[in-house]
């Protein structure tokens, strides 16, 4: 009887060990961002969260908190570093504050068109960018298109760099964005997105630069939207390195595979989002398409030369990006 009980106990222990070894750890992840619930990015991430939960049989749950409830993009990244948050969605421009080489995607006209953008970000160049902040406690996991940034103004159409002379234009808190504006001949004014409407209304600034969806908030104070298409800065979903390393290989594969599917589906979602915004704006804003893009490209050529010596790592990524056919 003792021998029988010993054998049974061993079997129970073996089965328990096998069961524990095969079961993945459960993760409840919070993903914070500063966009509204009806924004295409939020909708895409909600769909992704559902796909992750289904594919992982419930072992990975992603809870998404929108509207900047947990603070700015920089705040959310800091919370990840302090192990107070697992994931966030930020502009690649924000990531440059942690790893300067991320500036490569903010260089004016580094992407020829959207096909080029997608090929770069879905290729080895994008994967290498994801790893740039590993030493900072987080890595890139996926990216989402954030449109093409152009100038929009309260009173004056911008067709050439000369048209920016004397204009105060809101830019992101990014040295690359400031350098770009100086190269164009405008006056860079750094302020929060939420201050743009009042700034344009009161004449504190003459305009701003962003993708066309910004007109959802600023159409009432905007007269011209000018298609110079100077940058295509993607959004990036980042995750705590600590959390990522705790996931099993199977869970990592689920996260990556579902993210890739999200990126593919999102392209159509974003295009429709832009069209919906145009329909919403109607004839409030005049769209200026006869822009001398070559003149804008020529104006920022010195920025490329400056990068060679001031930011060699960034410039090496720029060269890799431009080499992608």
Contact 285, 220 (CB under 8 A): no
- pLDDT tens string 78-115: 999 999 999 999 999 889 989 999 999 999 999 999 99
Q: Is residue 194 part of a domain?
A: yes
Do 174 and 265 fall within a single domain? no
Q: Residue 196: which domain range?
A: 149-230+290-323
Distance CA 284, CA 280 (A): 9
Contact 117, 69 (CB under 8 A): no
Beta strands 87-91 and 168-171: pairing type? unpaired
Do 192 and 62 fall within a single domain? no
In degrees to the nearest 10, what's the CA dihedral of 81, 82, 88, 89?
A: -50
Burial class of residue 283 (count of CB atoms within 10 Å of its CB; 0-12, 13-18, 19+): exposed
The CA–CA distances, whole Å, from 186 to 51, 151, 209 equal 45, 11, 12
Please count the structural domains in the chain.
2
Token match 């996991």: residue? 141
Q: Taking Cα atoms as reference points, which of 324, 313, 320, 323 lies closest to residue 102?
A: 313
* Residue-wise burial string across 162-198, b where 16 or more C-beta atoms lie within 10 A, e elsewhere: ebbeebbbbbbebbbbebbbebbebbbbebebeebbe
- Give the angle subtended at the CA of 246 by the CAs of 253 and 123, to the nearest 5°: 35
Would you state the structure tokens that stand for residue 301, as one six-digit string?
């050529």
What is the helix, strand, coil percentage profile of the chain, to 5? 55, 20, 25
Q: Taking Cα atoms as reference points, which of 242, 238, 249, 259 lies closest to residue 49?
A: 259
For the entire predicted model, the pTM comes to 0.87
Q: Is residue 307 part of a domain?
A: yes
Do 213 and 223 fall within a single domain? yes
Do 175 and 128 fall within a single domain? no
Would you state the structure tokens that stand for residue 81, as one six-digit string?
């570093």
Do 190 and 203 fall within a single domain? yes
pLDDT tens for the chain, 325 residues long, are 455 445 444 444 444 444 443 478 999 999 999 999 999 999 999 999 999 999 999 999 999 999 999 998 989 999 999 999 999 999 998 899 899 999 999 999 999 999 999 999 999 999 999 999 999 999 999 999 999 999 999 999 999 999 999 999 999 888 899 999 999 999 999 988 889 999 999 999 999 999 999 999 999 999 999 999 999 999 999 999 999 999 999 999 999 999 999 999 999 999 999 999 999 999 999 999 999 999 999 999 999 999 999 999 999 999 999 999 9
Q: Is residue 303 part of a domain?
A: yes
CATH number at residue 315: 3.40.190.170
Do 31 and 115 fall within a single domain? yes
Q: Using the 3D structure, point to which of 258, 278, 298 is the last residue of a domain.
A: 278
Do 119 and 261 fall within a single domain? yes
């Amino acid at each position: 009887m003792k021998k029988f009980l010993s054998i049974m106990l061993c079997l129970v222990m073996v089965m328990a060990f096998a069961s524990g070894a095969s079961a993945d750890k459960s993760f409840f992840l919070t993903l914070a961002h500063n966009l509204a619930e009806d924004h295409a990015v939020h909708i895409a991430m909600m769909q992704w969260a559902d796909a992750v939960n289904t594919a992982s049989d419930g072992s990975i749950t992603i809870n998404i908190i929108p509207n900047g409830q947990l603070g700015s993009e920089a705040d959310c990244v800091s919370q990840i570093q302090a192990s107070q948050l697992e994931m966030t969605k930020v502009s690649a421009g924000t990531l440059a504050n942690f790893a300067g080489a991320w500036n490569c995607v903010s260089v004016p006209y580094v992407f020829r068109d959207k096909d080029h953008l997608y090929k770069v970000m879905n290729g080895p160049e994008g994967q290498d960018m994801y790893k740039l902040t590993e030493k900072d406690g987080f890595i890139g996991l996926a990216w989402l298109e954030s449109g093409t940034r152009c100038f929009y103004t309260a009173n004056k159409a911008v067709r050439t760099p000369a048209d920016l002379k004397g204009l105060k234009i809101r830019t992101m808190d990014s040295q690359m964005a400031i350098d770009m504006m100086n190269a164009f001949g405008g006056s860079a004014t750094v302020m929060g997105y939420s201050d743009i409407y009042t700034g344009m209304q009161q004449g504190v600034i003459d305009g701003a630069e962003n993708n066309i969806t910004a007109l959802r908030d600023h159409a009432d104070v905007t007269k011209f939207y000018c298609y110079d298409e100077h940058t295509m800065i993607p959004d990036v979903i980042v995750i705590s390195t600590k959390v990522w390393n705790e996931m099993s290989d199977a869970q990592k594969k689920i996260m990556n595979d579902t993210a890739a599917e999200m990126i593919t589906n999102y392209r159509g979602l974003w295009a429709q989002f832009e069209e919906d915004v145009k329909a919403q704006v109607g004839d409030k804003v005049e769209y200026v398409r006869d822009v001398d893009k070559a003149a804008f490209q020529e104006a920022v050529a010195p920025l490329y030369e400056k990068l060679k010596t001031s930011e060699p790592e960034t410039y090496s990524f720029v060269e890799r990006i431009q080499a992608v056919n």
